[in-house]
Amino acid sequence: GVITTVRDAQRELARFRMGYEFGIEEMLTKIRILRSEFRQTHDHNPIEHVTSRLKSIDSILEKTTRYGCAADPETIRERILDIAGIRITCSFVSDAYWVADMLASQPDVEVVRRKDYIAEPKPNGYRSLHLIVRIPVFLSDRTEHVPVEVQIRTIAMDFWASVEHKLSYKYHGVLPEDLRTELLDAAVTGAELDARMGRLRAEVRDLGAEGATGTPPGTDT
Ligand code: 0O2
């Protein structure tokens, strides 16, 4: 009856999400290893903060509508590449590129797409480095190659994006002209701050292991 159908659907959905969950796990492990290795062998921590999320069914369906594509599991698997998402926040722009290179160069990581919104910010001012990677997840009866979107950005970029996101939400995606101008201006300020911090970086490094180099509390992955 209906109950069985709903249960079947739930089971299928859980199975669908599982691969993406494991994809996130795999990527988080890679990031954690890079972080620990760095903590043990260097005087500087390139990664400040890591978060992850699994896209909700609603926003997956919203995206299929926006893309004008079918909403069956096959098509979704092929077209929606950001179901699994990881966001890495770094102190310095150079760290963001370093982290991206370290992940991209691992032999089991296939870079499907790379978008450098740091070198070329979006017209609204958004800056970040986006990678879509595909990594193997080994299950009992098969290997799935799972796409994961990795967004890498500085603290300044992250701050800007979170404020912009809240404003966009409040205004349902259509921001008044003055706010858009203000945000674009704030993005430029953010980029300037990143550039200044980049220049101060050598000084930070010189502080050595006991200086501004440890992991701040509460930023564990
Ligand atoms: P969520 O809830 O963060 O997942 P599309 O996703 O189709 O719009 P594309 O080319 O697939 O575009 O992805 P793109 O442009 O590489 O980046 C999409 C994701 O980057 C977004 O995911 C946001 O997380 C982030 N992003 C991109 N542009 C902006 C922006 O202007 N402001 C903010 N705050 N974030 C941005 P989602 O799915 O929109 O949302």
Ligand 1 atom closest to residue 162's alpha carbon, by position in its atom list = 34
Rounded to two decimals, the pTM is 0.90
Q: Closest Cα to atom 16, ligand 1: which residue?
A: 130
Q: Which residues of the chain have pLDDT under 50?
A: 209-221
Question: Which of 67, 82, 131 is the pocket-test mutation for ligand 1 (most atoms within 8 Å of CB)?
Answer: 82
Contacts of 127 (CB under 8 A, 6+ apart): 117, 118, 121, 153, 157, 160, 187, 190, 191
Using an 8 Å Cβ cutoff, are 91 and 125 in contact?
Answer: no
Using an 8 Å Cβ cutoff, are 78 and 71 in contact?
Answer: no
Q: Closest Cα to atom 26, ligand 1: which residue?
A: 126
Q: Closest Cα to atom 10, ligand 1: which residue?
A: 115
Question: Ligand 1 within 6 A of 80 CB?
Answer: no
| Residue 63 confidence (pLDDT) | 94
Question: Ligand 1 within 6 A of 161 CB?
Answer: yes
Question: Ligand 1 within 6 A of 180 CB?
Answer: no
CA–CA gap between residue 80 and residue 106 (Å, rounded):
23
CA–CA gap between residue 82 and residue 84 (Å, rounded):
5
Question: Ligand 1 within 6 A of 87 CB?
Answer: no
DSSP string, 13-65: HHHHHHHHHHHHHHHHHHHHHHHHHHHHH-S--S--EEEEEE--HHHHHHHHH
| The pairing of beta strand 143-154 with beta strand 129-138 | antiparallel
- Calculate the CA 131 to chain-centre distance: 8
Question: Ligand 1 within 6 A of 11 CB?
Answer: no
State which amino acid sits at residue 126: Y
130: CA distance to ligand 1 center in Å? 9
| Residue 208 confidence (pLDDT) | 56
CA–CA gap between residue 218 and residue 50 (Å, rounded):
11
Catalytic residue among 25, 149, 182, 203: 149
Active site (annotated) includes residue 74:
no
Question: Ligand 1 within 6 A of 79 CB?
Answer: no
CA–CA gap between residue 182 and residue 53 (Å, rounded):
29
| Residue 184 confidence (pLDDT) | 98
Return the biggest CA–CA distance within the chain: 69
Long-range Cβ pairs for the range 161-164 (8 Å, 24+): 161/126, 161/128, 164/124, 164/125, 164/126
128: CA distance to ligand 1 center in Å? 10
| Residue 205 confidence (pLDDT) | 74
Question: Of all helices (H) and strands (E), which one includes residue 140?
Answer: none
Question: Ligand 1 within 6 A of 165 CB?
Answer: yes
